[in-house]
Amino acid sequence: MSQTHAHGRSSGKPKLALYWAASCGGCEIAVLAIDEKILTVAEHFDVVFWPCAVDGKVRDIEKMADGEIRLCLFNGGIRTSEQEYMARLLRRKSQVLVAFGSCAQEGCIPGLANLSNREEIFRTVYRDTLSTDNPQGIYPQPETAVPEGKLHLPIFYDTLKTLGQTVEVDYYLPGCPPEAENIWEALVAVLEGRLPERGSVIGKNTTVCDECPRIREEKKIKRFKRIWEVIPDQEHCLLEQGIICCGIATRAGCGAKCPQVNSPCIGCHGPNEGVEDFGGRLLSALASMIDSNDPNEIERIIREGIPDPVGTLYRFNLASSLLRRSRRAATDGNGQKGAAASKLGAVS
Amino acid sequence: MIKGDKNLRIGVYVCHCGTNIAGTVDVEKLRQFAETLPGVVLARHYKYMCSDPGQELLKQDIMEHGLNRVVVAACTPSLHEETFRRAAEQAGMNRFLVQIANIREQVAWVTDDAETALDKAKAHVAGAVRRVALHQPLERQFVPILPRALVVGGGIAGIQAALTLADAGKEVILVEREPSIGGHMAMFDKTFPTLDCAACILTPKMTAVKNHPNIRLLTYSEVINVEGSVGNYRVQIRRRPRYIKEDLCIGCMQCVEACVFTRARFPNPFDRGLGMRKPVYIPFAQAVPPVPLIDPEACLRLKQGKCKETCVVACGDRGAIDFEQQVIVEEYQVGVIIVATGYQIFDPSVIGYYGYGKLPNVYTALEVERLLNAGGPTSGKVLLRDGRVPKRVAIVHCVGSRDKKYHAYCSRVCCMYALKLAHLLKEKTGAEVYNCYIDIRTPGKGFEEFYNRVQEEGVHFIRGKVADVSPVPTGPGENGSSGLIITVEDTLLGEVRKIPVDMVVLAVALEPQADADNVRRMFGISCSTEGFFLEKHPKLAPVNTASDGVFLAGACQGPKDIPDTVAQADAAAAKALALIDAGQIELEPNTAWIDEEMCSGCKTCIPLCPFNAISRDEERQIAVIDEALCKGCGTCVAACPSGAAKQKLFGFEQIDEELEGILSYV
């Protein structure tokens, strides 16, 4: 990476920024999965900001003119005040802001924490886990007085929001993480200036089944099976074998990678074009496949086969779904309930 | 910000519905509110929007004010959506740019509270306005009606409907489960109150069915599957093997004569088990088609593979007998369906104290019909099982009817057939006949007169419910045979009477066929609590069903006598004819369609469609909806995981906007 210049000495090349908010970091690795093409990227872009890989300072970005960055690939959801600040900053400075990967696009796994609030999360993380030794019950505080003065930590929000719920996003690149070939496609598209309609998802307008070679017959399910229960038949539709494969509801573009290796699709590409609520869609499709008219039997089939409905149906998209979060009293950045909390908007 | 057309000119009309709506909802305030909604250029209220002046107002406004969307806040769309769509169309607007906000059933009728009513009415109007803004003009579509009818059931109802349709030049497929058409009427001796011989009036019709060039008669056959919808049903019919080829048999009955069983020794269900038949038999002499059949449970050749096959020899060169016949399934396409599957009689053996099934001389009325019938097992002689002629007969009314333990309803025909049997039994045997009744119900043409006549003939009437039928205690009875004693409280005399009789006739209820539930599901018909098929409207659509193009005739819809059955059959035929002769029917405008790019061919929707309208295009690997079959139920749209199945008038965006509109005022 020695050829890239984080300080943005003008090289005439379009500027590229990458940022990592509330996410696991897999998206950062995914960028490198384009292999040697990363050199081509460096050839055509001036990487001005990529905290994971390149030394760079926020103040340098702050000093830039608005729109000076040609392209920003932003991964991760918005969980803290710092992330929100960075999202707003990079939005302002970038011509094209891409919500990169499932977390930025729809919240992903961190979004499942919307089933809890800040206080519960802190209690678990800083007190209740077995490996935590915190007898005084000290939680992170936004402001801490020390002899040298006051220290600040970002405020931890009650609700994880997607990038699109925070700032205007130009494009969405789905996936957990996005596939190398799609990343490359997107980069080339930006360089060549052939971009689709603003606000659109870069991908296909159909679902994973379209790319899946498995044989489909009839979807009638007597029992949903967990993946550890069976070694699935290699040739037939996994869902028809009772394994919940989210491919029917998940946007295509991944090449049906998971089903091809006998693993069900878990839905990381999010819903198809025009579908607002992935989980709701998948739920009504699954419900229609249950092969019974007896309410008790149906209840049993669901209870035994789908012990974690939210984790199954909304694994990647709870934060962006119509549900957004559990309906529980939200707390503010300091764990306070009440007026301050409502300003943050538990349910936006 | 309202979505939709930029040049929206929405008119909102608030109907008072007399005081139905205006009595609860402040229509002026609602009008004022509507006027403030984005896109609305005009809002009015009017006493009766559905009246001619109301519709005229709408039309005038569309033309004068250039409205391009209309919301009518009135009663349920199932009542007047068509009215307002038509009015808009007459004013030059596309009829699907009209939306109804139901503020009567959903608002005014469910609360007395004016304030909440106004709020809810506002929410409905706001939802309708936001939704209609996204409506697109749609074209009306029509499908042709196949000029061919399926009539299910070959009793008098089915026969009558089939003949009426066939006489009008339409092709009819008449399906009968039994080996012969004729149904229950063919079992009867005489009919009330005119005492016409049932066979004399029925058999000409049966023969007419057989000979009619427009009727294809499929006996010993059952409908097993129905697909499609009005105008174009595909029905599968399972045909059981007769083991005698219908097209080769001439009905000479030589095979029956020649059967190795020289004596008939198998109970004949047509004679309610009172008569016997051979393994090769014809259910009754006038059966149509006049073709015998072989009972595989009784025939030695079919059962054991070994027989002298004297029947084959007797048939000779005709070669009509075919032991290799198999069940076959035939498929037909029809435009309309008349369901005339009739009834079954109540099984009185469940009422222990009447002794039916245990005491040999306790009969059902239908068994007595067979005894009285000249073509029956006793050639019309009324003989008890021990061969005696009964001298004293009790007829018990309301067996299984008007009894909460069995059927709460009145079976309508029992009083009259009991009176008829009383008359016939007395006429044939000279017996003393006791009619034990709860109420005598004779509300029909000539019925009361017939009742008077039977009374004058000396039939005894006892007002009371029979509590018990017992054999005469041991000891020699009259002529050394055991008789019966009935116990009945004579409520007019106020005393319990015990009457010795030789024969008890149970006037059993009419009830739905045992498989009525499967049949109604197959044809998409609802049923009433007692299980009879449900007409679309009890008064104004008595032969229609919830499924367009499926009509009802006869006792499958409820107990009724022959004249009523025939009248209903003709009514059903007329309705079917009206559809066929219209030549086409308008499709539901809100059909589903597949966004081909979005469809991944996952096959979720295909088995869900109740109308079998969806198939998979194997080449393109996508689902395809046959618009002519789609009824717009939305099942596939709700289930489609990829959002590829969409519905006209129920687009996701339209629904979302309507919800947003409603929720923003809740």
Residue ranges of domains in chain B = 10-138+654-663, 143-240+327-342+526-586, 254-318, 346-511, 592-648
Beta-sheet strands, E only, within B153-295: 171-175, 190-191, 196-197, 215-218, 221-229, 232-239, 266-267, 276-277, 280-281, 293-294
pLDDT of the residue at B626: 87
Q: Band of the pLDDT at B434, cuts 50, 70, 90?
A: very high
Within 10 A of A116 (CB to CB), how many other CB atoms are there?
16
Find where tokens 């992903």 sit: A108
pLDDT of the residue at B586: 84
- φ and ψ at residue B625, rounded to 5 degrees: -105, 125
Comparing CB atoms, the residue among B599, B607, B640 nearest residue A219 is: B607
Q: Residues, chain A, total?
A: 348
Q: Band of the pLDDT at A331, cuts 50, 70, 90?
A: low
Buried residues in A206-218 as b, exposed as e (16+ CB within 10 A): bbbbbbbebebee
Coil/strand/helix, residue B335: coil
Contact across the interface for B656 and A218, Cβ inside 8 Å = no
Nearest to B550 by CA among B563, B565, B534, B532: B534
Instruction: Compute the nearest-CA separation of A213 from chain B (Å).
Output: 11
CA-CA-CA-CA torsion for A187, A188, A192, A197, nearest 10 degrees?
-60
Strand partners, B215: B172
Beta pairing class for B148-152 and B336-339: parallel
* A277 has a chain B CB within 8 A of its CB: no
Mean pLDDT along residues A10-39 = 92
Find where tokens 């499942």 sit: A112
CA-CA-CA-CA torsion for B379, B380, B381, B382, nearest 10 degrees?
130
In whole angstroms, how far apart are CA B139 and each of B96, B143, B626, B636? Answer: 9, 13, 16, 22
Contacts of B621 in chain A (CB under 8 A): 210
Residue A244 token pair: 């919940």
Find where tokens 């339209």 sit: B654
Coil/strand/helix, residue A293: coil
Within 10 A of B91 (CB to CB), how many other CB atoms are there?
18
Domains of chain A: 12-107+162-192 (3.40.50.700), 117-157+331-343 (no CATH), 208-313 (no CATH)
> Which of B593, B612, B642, B663 should we substitute to test contact with A (largest number of A Cβ atoms within 10 Å)?
B642
Beta-sheet strands, E only, within B22-87: 40-46, 69-74
Least confident of A134-148, A325-339, B14-28: A325-339
Find where tokens 């899946």 sit: A212
Mean pLDDT along residues A156-171 = 96
pLDDT of the residue at A10: 58
- With 90 as the cut, is the pLDDT of residue B612 above it? no
pLDDT of the residue at B477: 47
- With 90 as the cut, is the pLDDT of residue B114 above it? yes
pLDDT of the residue at B323: 96
Q: How far apart are CA A1 and CA B140, in angstroms?
A: 65
For residue B193, say if its preceding peptide bond is cis, omega within 30 degrees of 0. yes
Least confident of A24-28, A111-115, A314-318, B471-475: B471-475
Q: Position B345: which residue type? A: I
Which is higher by pLDDT, B58 or B478? B58
Average pLDDT, chain B: 94
Helix B156-167, helix B562-582: angle, nearest 10: 40
Which is higher by pLDDT, B341 or B472? B341
- Inter-residue contact B323 to B302 (CB < 8 Å): yes
- With 70 as the cut, is the pLDDT of residue B1 above it? no
% of chain B surpassing 90 pLDDT: 89
Contact across the interface for A285 and B604, Cβ inside 8 Å = yes
pLDDT of the residue at A330: 57
- With 50 as the cut, is the pLDDT of residue A346 above it? no
Residue B149 token pair: 């009818």
Contact across the interface for B641 and A218, Cβ inside 8 Å = no
Beta pairing class for B69-74 and B510-512: unpaired
Q: How far apart are CA B504 and CA A319, in angstroms?
A: 77
Q: Position B386: which residue type? A: D
Mean pLDDT along residues A2-17 = 65
pLDDT digits (tens, 9 = 90+) for A192-224: 988 889 999 988 999 999 999 999 999 999 999
Least confident of A178-182, B393-397, B605-609: B605-609
Q: Band of the pLDDT at A343, cuts 50, 70, 90?
A: very low
Contact across the interface for B621 and A282, Cβ inside 8 Å = no
Q: Band of the pLDDT at A264, cuts 50, 70, 90?
A: very high
> Which of 3.10.450, 3.30.70, 3.40.50, 1.10.3470 is the CATH number of B10-138+654-663?
3.40.50
Contact across the interface for B644 and A206, Cβ inside 8 Å = yes
Coil/strand/helix, residue A152: strand
pLDDT of the residue at B6: 75
Annotation: CATH topology of B346-511: FAD/NAD(P)-binding domain (3.50.50)
Q: Band of the pLDDT at A340, cuts 50, 70, 90?
A: very low
Contact across the interface for B604 and A288, Cβ inside 8 Å = yes
- Inter-residue contact B407 to B511 (CB < 8 Å): yes
pLDDT of the residue at B234: 92
* A244 has a chain B CB within 8 A of its CB: no
Contact across the interface for A206 and B621, Cβ inside 8 Å = no
- With 60 as the cut, is the pLDDT of residue A347 above it? no
% of chain B surpassing 70 pLDDT: 98
Cβ-in-10-Å burial (0-12, 13-18, 19+) of B456 comes to exposed
- With 50 as the cut, is the pLDDT of residue A88 above it? yes
pLDDT digits (tens, 9 = 90+) for B135-169: 999 988 888 999 999 999 999 999 999 999 999 99
- With 80 as the cut, is the pLDDT of residue A299 above it? yes
- With 80 as the cut, is the pLDDT of residue A344 above it? no
pLDDT of the residue at B239: 98
- Inter-residue contact B341 to B519 (CB < 8 Å): yes
Instruction: Compute the nearest-CA separation of B640 from chain A (Å).
Output: 6
Contact across the interface for B601 and A220, Cβ inside 8 Å = no
- Inter-residue contact A274 to B643 (CB < 8 Å): yes
Residue A304 token pair: 């035994």
Helix A180-192, helix A37-44: angle, nearest 10: 20
Contacts of B640 in chain A (CB under 8 A): 281, 285
In the sheet where A171-173 sits, what is the strand order? A46-49, A15-20, A69-75, A94-100, A171-173
Mean pLDDT along residues A286-305 = 93
Q: How far apart are CA A239 and CA A230, in angstroms?
A: 13
The answer as to CATH 3.40.50.300 being correct for domain B143-240+327-342+526-586 is no
Contact across the interface for A248 and B608, Cβ inside 8 Å = no
* Nearest chain A residue to B607, by CA: A218
% of chain A surpassing 70 pLDDT: 91
Contacts of B607 in chain A (CB under 8 A): 218-220
Q: Band of the pLDDT at B502, cuts 50, 70, 90?
A: very high
Comparing CB atoms, the residue among B601, B643, B652 nearest residue A209 is: B601
Task: Report ipTM (2 d.p.).
Answer: 0.83
* Nearest chain A residue to B620, by CA: A210
Nearest to B129 by CA among B294, B220, B13, B276: B13
Q: How far apart are CA A273 and CA A204, in angstroms?
A: 8
| Helix or strand run (H / E) with residue A32 | helix A26-32
Instruction: Compute the nearest-CA separation of B641 from chain A (Å).
Output: 4
Beta-sheet strands, E only, within chain A: 15-20, 46-49, 69-75, 78-80, 94-100, 143-146, 149-152, 156-161, 171-173
pLDDT of the residue at A4: 43
Cα B190 from chain centroid? Answer: 26
**Domains B10-138+654-663 and B592-648 belong to one CATH topology:** no
In whole angstroms, how far apart are CA B479 and each of B381, B388, B469, B482? Answer: 20, 10, 20, 9
Q: Residues, chain B, total?
A: 666
- With 90 as the cut, is the pLDDT of residue A302 above it? yes
pLDDT digits (tens, 9 = 90+) for B238-273: 999 999 999 999 999 999 999 999 999 999 999 999
Contacts of B599 in chain A (CB under 8 A): 206
| Helix or strand run (H / E) with residue B469 | strand B466-471
**Cβ-Cβ contacts under 8 Å for B333 (sequence gap 6 or more):** B146, B148, B228, B232, B233, B234, B235
Q: How far apart are CA A221 and CA A286, in angstroms?
A: 9
Beta-sheet strands, E only, within A182-266: none
Contact across the interface for B604 and A275, Cβ inside 8 Å = no
Architecture of domain B592-648: 2-Layer Sandwich (3.30)
Coil/strand/helix, residue A92: helix
- Inter-residue contact B457 to B436 (CB < 8 Å): no
Find where tokens 């006792």 sit: B555
Q: How far apart are CA B4 and CA B651, in angstroms?
A: 13
